[in-house]
Amino acid sequence: MNEKLIDLFEYTHHFNKQMIHYISENRSAVDGKTISLINHTLNAQQIWNSRILGEKAFEVWQINPLENLEEINDRNHAKSIEILNNYDLDKRIEYQNSKGLKFENSIFEMLFHAINHSTYHRGQINSLLKQNGLTPILTDYIFYKR
Question: In whole angstroms, what is the distance from residue 125 CA to residue 112 CA?
Answer: 20
Say how far residue 136 (Cα) sits from the centre of its chain.
18
Q: How many residues does the chain have?
A: 146
* 21 annotated binding-site participant: no
Amino acid at the residue 126: N
* 117 annotated binding-site participant: yes
46 CB-side CA count, 13 A: 21
* 113 annotated binding-site participant: no
Helix (H) or strand (E) holding 17: helix 2-25
Specify binding-site residues for a divalent metal cation: 40, 117, 121
Specify binding-site residues: 40, 117, 121
